[in-house]
Structure 1
Amino acid sequence: MDIRSLTAAQNYAVARPATQADPDHAGMAQGLRSTFQDFAATLKHSEQMSEAAMTGQADPHALVQALAQTELAVETAVIVRNKVVEAYQEILRMPV
């Protein structure tokens, strides 16, 4: 057997698991899921607080606080989205 083909086979065997899901990184997906759920909960709370304020059942201070939290959450989501788009565009500009 040629040494080059043996080295290639060994390198392939080492690189092969890189294409499979790593169960140790499942925590990252769970972290993203909880982040998205928190974002949705913040928006829902703000909407409920707005409805309650329109019917006179909520304190105006609580409404302002809920809207400020929602504004912060949306601004954060927009910043993250912009960074993801920027990274994607940078990858597209890479020479192949």
Structure 2
Amino acid sequence: MNYQAIAGELTIYTAAVEKQQLKEFLDTDDDLEVNLSQVSELDSAGLQVLILLKREATQRNKKLRYSMHSKAVLEILEMCNMTAAFGDQVVLT
């Protein structure tokens, strides 16, 4: 399993760069995990990147998990009613 972490903002200002890096990460293995514990801010553009990556992984028959969701990530997922949409285990504190 390959592992990658996202740190800092995942917003409209960083989404294009993160999207490219994460799409390259998809090519590294068939079993992948993205740690979201260091995401300090997430907006709709960042959420779209996470949705796109999950969809692309599914289309490529790859297993992709998001883990260790930060408070910023959880707030957006809850606000958009998407906490369960990715099918990842989310630990609410």
TM over 0.5: no
Q: What is the TM-score normalised by the length of structure 1?
A: 0.28
Q: Name the larger-Rg structure.
A: 1
The answer to which structure, 1 or 2, has the higher relative contact order (CA under 8 A, 6+ apart) is 2
Which one has a larger percent helix, Structure 1 or Structure 2?
1
